[in-house]
Amino acid sequence: MIYMVEMALLDTARRTEWDAWYVTHQHLLLAIPGFRASQRFESIHAAESPFVALHEVDGPEIFTGPRYRARAGPSNTGEWQAKMGNWHRNLFDGLDHTPDVSLDARLLVVEADGGSALPDRVSVEWMKAVGLDRSVQRRGLAVVPSATGDGLAGTRGVRVLKPIGPRLRREA
């Protein structure tokens, strides 16, 4: 399953601090049983929620478990919760693994109405929202070369994201 968190950073003057906090937060999540991978992204064009984190998780029960509730989730983001806007948390079924997006590639987040605008050579994997906010019913993901993604910036229903860092994996 894919746990997708998207947001806008309201206090952009503290971006470096926030990025450092978020990497620590990713490692905290990966220490919780059931979290397997995590990667962060930033939109290359204007978007209501320009930051996205994709987390690979075992299932919805993680979010009601004591370790997650004690160490993660909205109540454990400290001062940053008030500095993030347009924040949505969705749990998706349809993909077992988050894509491993290299730093020179792009991730496309495709809304239900955006897939028809993509070239045939772009293969979208569709997911259905099954938990948490359910702010959308379904979404698609596609990994493309940066030149392809950059050319799609501004396409209706498609958010083009560049990786902020590498895909992190839970240590065995």
Average pLDDT over residues 82-103: 91
In a domain, 17, yes or no: yes
- pLDDT band (50, 70, 90) for residue 114: confident
For residue 146, pLDDT over 70 is answered with yes
**At 117, which CATH number?**
3.30.70.100
Least confident of 39-53, 78-92, 125-139, 146-160: 78-92
Sequence-distant (6+) residues with CB within 8 A of 37 are 30, 55, 56, 97, 98, 100, 167, 168, 169, 170
Residues spanned by the domain of 31: 2-165
Say what the pLDDT of residue 33 is: 93
Percent of the chain residues topping a pLDDT of 70 = 98
For residue 49, pLDDT over 90 is answered with yes
On the 0-12 / 13-18 / 19+ scale of CB atoms within 10 A, 123 is exposed
In a domain, 170, yes or no: no
In a domain, 25, yes or no: yes
In a domain, 172, yes or no: no
Average pLDDT over residues 98-113: 95
In this prediction the pTM is 0.93
Residue with tokens 């400290």: 78
Determine phi and psi for 81, rounding to 5 degrees.
Answer: -55, -40
Least confident of 46-55, 76-85, 147-156: 76-85
> Average model confidence (pLDDT) for the chain?
92
Percent of the chain residues topping a pLDDT of 90 = 77
Average pLDDT over residues 146-167: 95
In a domain, 20, yes or no: yes
For residue 151, pLDDT over 70 is answered with yes
Number of domains in the chain: 1
Determine phi and psi for 116, rounding to 5 degrees.
Answer: -70, -15
For residue 172, pLDDT over 70 is answered with no
In a domain, 171, yes or no: no
Determine phi and psi for 128, rounding to 5 degrees.
Answer: -115, 135
